[in-house]
Amino acid sequence: MNFLEERIVKDGIVKENNVLKVDSFLNHQMDVALLDEIGREFHRRFADKNITKVLTIEASGIAIAYAVAREFGVPMVFAKKAKSINIDGDMYTAEVESFTHKNKNQVIVSKKFLSENDRLLIVDDFLANGCALQGLISISESAGATVEGIGIVIEKGFQFGGRSIRNLGYHLESLAIVDGMDPVTKQIKFRKQE
């Protein structure tokens, strides 16, 4: 097990309906030393890619993107949900369905911050059915930017998001892939990775 899988076993909580709660260290309360380590690990995995910008989506993704962008020494950009009066009209948009919240959001990135010269690393905390990630990819493509890689902290391997993104040819790295969880025994089955 790597550092993240160990932490999930230690502090993650398996609930009914394939819910894995990691809110004590990753997406409500956040362990900054763990975030730093996540940043270093993604940097190690994508170090040869000449990344120019890290892209994510609010909210939990922001901390991941910051950790990663710091290691690369590049800016991060987070896609916003819904329209803010403080955002100019000139923006890339995609529609994203939320698995967690059971609703649809328009996500937006200002055109000022993505260009055809950008070599992007897209990061997020969770990957389940992949809707958020597909929205970010769609926005990157609209900008003419290159998606050099995708870094996910926890992938739910029993949902179809990861497979469909990999089938599209993207270089997707997940620090932990959960292939199954037993709500009775609380056992978590991680996919073996190289």
- Enumerate binding residues for a second copy (CB under 8 A): 19, 21, 23-24, 28-33, 35-36, 58-60, 62-63, 65-67, 69-70, 73-78, 80, 82, 84-87, 100-102, 109-110, 112-113
Q: Rounded distance, CA 151 to CA 143, Å? A: 20
* Gyration radius of the chain over CA positions: 16
Q: Closer CB to a second copy, residue 86 or residue 167? A: 86
* 108, 93 Cβ separation under 8 angstroms: yes
Q: Closer CB to a second copy, residue 82 or residue 168? A: 82
Q: Tokens 């329209």 — which residue?
A: 83
Least spacing, CB of residue 164 vs a second copy, in Å: 23
Least spacing, CB of residue 92 vs a second copy, in Å: 12
Least spacing, CB of residue 31 vs a second copy, in Å: 6
Q: Closer CB to a second copy, residue 168 or residue 188? A: 188
Q: Determine the length of the chain.
A: 194
Please name which of 71, 83, 137, 132 lies closest in space to residue 108, comparing C-alpha atoms: 83
